[in-house]
A and B are shown apart, each in its own frame.
Chain A
Amino acid sequence: MTILPSTTSPDRRPFGLVGLLPWLFAAVVVGYAMVVGGYAATVVSFALIYAVFVTGLNLFMGFAAQVSFGQNAFAAIGGYLSAVLTASHGWPPLPAMLLGIAAAVLVAAIVGFPTLRLKGHYLAMGTLAIGLITYEITVEWQSVTQGYMGISGIPPIGIGPYEVTSDRGQLILLSLVVAACAFAAARIRRSRFGRALSAVAGSEEAATALGIEVARYKLLAFLLSAGFAALAGSLFVHVVGFVSPEVFGLHMVIVTFTMLYVGGIGTVAGPLVGALIVSLLPETFRAFKDYQDLAYGAVLIVLLIYAPRGLASLFSPRGRS
């Protein structure tokens, strides 16, 4: 008798050295940026920040198979709260970041409770509205956000007198944060919570029949995802030292979706691989000038043709089977 892989259990087949290739790729890219510094370090730093965001998005979209076009709202809440508290009120960065994350999770709970009753296209539209509303608030609430003028003078991350200002210091810090996020995602995937999300992803009705509280698990995944997004937003403002509404606009939604699908939705390494590839590809083609977007788009299409489930899935047992 053959036992088929369960849709509610994570794949526990050993994946060997091939499974380590995405991580090796990431390590090589980050290591190279650390050695070279400067421009490469800036590009990879942004990629790592996006990797945090996409890891959260993957929890909701990959693990739970839900759709959200509004995670940029939570990045904006985390980023702006951190920026305002540190630049305007003299808070140290770490408490400001924590409060930003807590506020984003709270807002996610308030809007998620009614919104997550929606399904499919309706959920997509509802979450898109959350992102658009937040964007408008960042533009219009000028007494707090400075509108399009943006907020300058945001201090770098640090504790007490120790601030992480160098390229390499920021890369090391961001690498540690990404590693912690990926570890957390891997643990979540294999946990009871992760298995419940997997069941919800397979069929909400079947999951309900198995005794899983679908609405509760969807909301929890949404809150976790919002927390990751807020962390990414906070990291961004402290690394760049500036924030304005465009940073968390619709562009962020498009870029992070691309990262998730190119990297591999539902995989643990996918968000990091996708974030690195999608951040580095446009820089690779920068010399093409007006044809940069054309070349970038063509390579994305090729990647998705040859790796339709994302690059990381090529290295996972489930993706190869």
Chain B
Amino acid sequence: MMKQTFLAAGLAASLALAGALPANSQEPYKIGVSAGLTGYAATVDRAWRDGVELAAAALNAKGGVMGRKIQVVVEDNRSEPQEAVTVYRKMLSSDKVDVFVSGCVSAGNFAAAGLLQRAKVPMMLCSILPTQAEHLVWAFSTLPPAGFEVDKRLEYLKEKTQIRKIAVLHDPTPYANLQKSVAERNAAKFGLEVVSVDQYKQDDADLSVQISKARSAGAGAILKIGLGGTTLTAAKNIKQLGADMLLLTSLEDLAVFGPVAEVLGDKFFFVASPSQVYEALPEGALKAGIKSFLDPWREKFKDRDPNWASRGWDGVMLTAAAIEKAKSFEGEKVRAAYEELSGFQGTTGIYNFRPDLHQGITENPFVLATIEGGKVKVVQ
């Protein structure tokens, strides 16, 4: 029994201590990625990570940045804030990461923002920015402002339809809540009235109550804000209820939209990023910018949706541009150089950062699209 006791204790102690050993510092410039590779953000953050790794490989093929190769360190934060703090801490103290190009788990990035501020390490994010002023100094985002996705849909309804009453259906995530607020605020500017606002949960299997309420209130269109399978649920519920309504959804993986279009046909529209409608874009700087990413992306991942990965690509390219502008790898100097990046052509649009503007996309890059005969068609 004693032998068993000591064996178990020894196993526990050795496993426990081995996990906390620090890694040696490395020569390459290290980009840390805290991403929700499992959990609710997995689809988006896995694509983001792939975009970051693809960009690092492309830069390394050209010799790296200012003579240093780039090494990407990825850790799974399980889409949980506590886990995000742990992995940020690991990458800071054990992996000695120089900069972060992290995924879309907003709460995780917020929770770790104080750590990065104290360590003077900048972060380029997929998510919205932290709200604390002192944390904001070190955080930058590739995410277009929440209003852009909303405005594109409102613009279409105003210009191309007779609908003047709309409903908003959103999930409880921070980005969806921001979009909901924008819709409520901006609808009047487009001559529209929001007659119903309802929230759902990402795992809801039925939205007919919310849709019935919207129809009763006289809404002719539903602005759905949020990711995942609920878009198909909403489409099925609209059809089952026989509601004569348009469904306009937010940015999402194109793979989700095929089945939705089969249900709703020409009553379904979605916001698309430029990389998702690459073939329909006119020749120009944006198309050339997307091509530099899309060629290696398609070579490696075939027809997988490029949207989230393209912003991960942008995150790395912005970082490389900041290093070259700063002529330094030092965190404080790279941070300052981010703030001076202006007119940077990315795959999502043109980034114009300023000291008072850390969300670089300032012009609406989105289009409104639908699916006709299995093909994506831009309508606005």
Binds A, one of B9-17, B239-247, B273-281: B9-17
Interface flags, B1-37, vs A, CB<8A=1, else 0 = 1101101110111011111101000000000000000
> Is B120 engaged at the interface, CB distance under 8 Å to the other chain?
no
B111 engages A242 (CB within 8 Å): yes
Neighbouring A residues of B86 by C-beta, 8 Å: 39, 42-43, 46, 283
Interface flags, B304-339, vs A, CB<8A=1, else 0 = 000000000000000000000000000000000000
Binds A, one of B56-64, B88-96, B253-261, B342-350: B88-96
Determine the distance from Cα of A218 to Cα of B2 in the docked complex, in whole angstroms.
36
Binds A, one of B140-148, B153-161, B169-177, B228-236: B169-177
> Is A149 engaged at the interface, CB distance under 8 Å to the other chain?
yes
Q: A147-B172, A314-B5, A314-B8 are in contact. Are A39 and B110 (CB under 8 A)?
A: no
Taking the closest CB of chain B, its distance from the CB of A243, in whole angstroms, is: 8
Neighbouring A residues of B22 by C-beta, 8 Å: 36, 38-40
> Is B80 engaged at the interface, CB distance under 8 Å to the other chain?
yes
Determine the distance from Cα of A277 to Cα of B20 in the docked complex, in whole angstroms.
12
Taking the closest CB of chain B, its distance from the CB of A235, in whole angstroms, is: 13
Which of A18, A29, A240, A292 is B82 in contact with, Cβ under 8 Å?
A240
Interface flags, A43-60, vs B, CB<8A=1, else 0 = 110100000000000000
Determine the distance from Cα of A236 to Cα of B79 in the docked complex, in whole angstroms.
18
Interface flags, B37-59, vs A, CB<8A=1, else 0 = 00000000000000000000000
Q: How many residues of A contact B (CB 8 A)?
A: 53
Neighbouring A residues of B8 by C-beta, 8 Å: 303, 306-307, 311, 314
Q: How many residues of B contact A (CB 8 A)?
A: 44
B90 engages A286 (CB within 8 Å): yes
Neighbouring A residues of B173 by C-beta, 8 Å: 148
> Is A113 engaged at the interface, CB distance under 8 Å to the other chain?
no
Neighbouring A residues of B177 by C-beta, 8 Å: 142, 147-149
Neighbouring B residues of A21 by C-beta, 8 Å: 5, 9
Which of A42, A241, A244, A289 is B114 in contact with, Cβ under 8 Å?
A241
Q: A39-B90, A147-B172, A246-B80 are in contact. Are A281 and B16 (CB under 8 A)?
A: yes
> Is B85 engaged at the interface, CB distance under 8 Å to the other chain?
yes
Taking the closest CB of chain B, its distance from the CB of A113, in whole angstroms, is: 31
Taking the closest CB of chain B, its distance from the CB of A175, in whole angstroms, is: 16
> Is A191 engaged at the interface, CB distance under 8 Å to the other chain?
no
What are the nearest 5 A-B pairs in CB distance? A38-B93, A284-B19, A40-B20, A283-B19, A280-B16
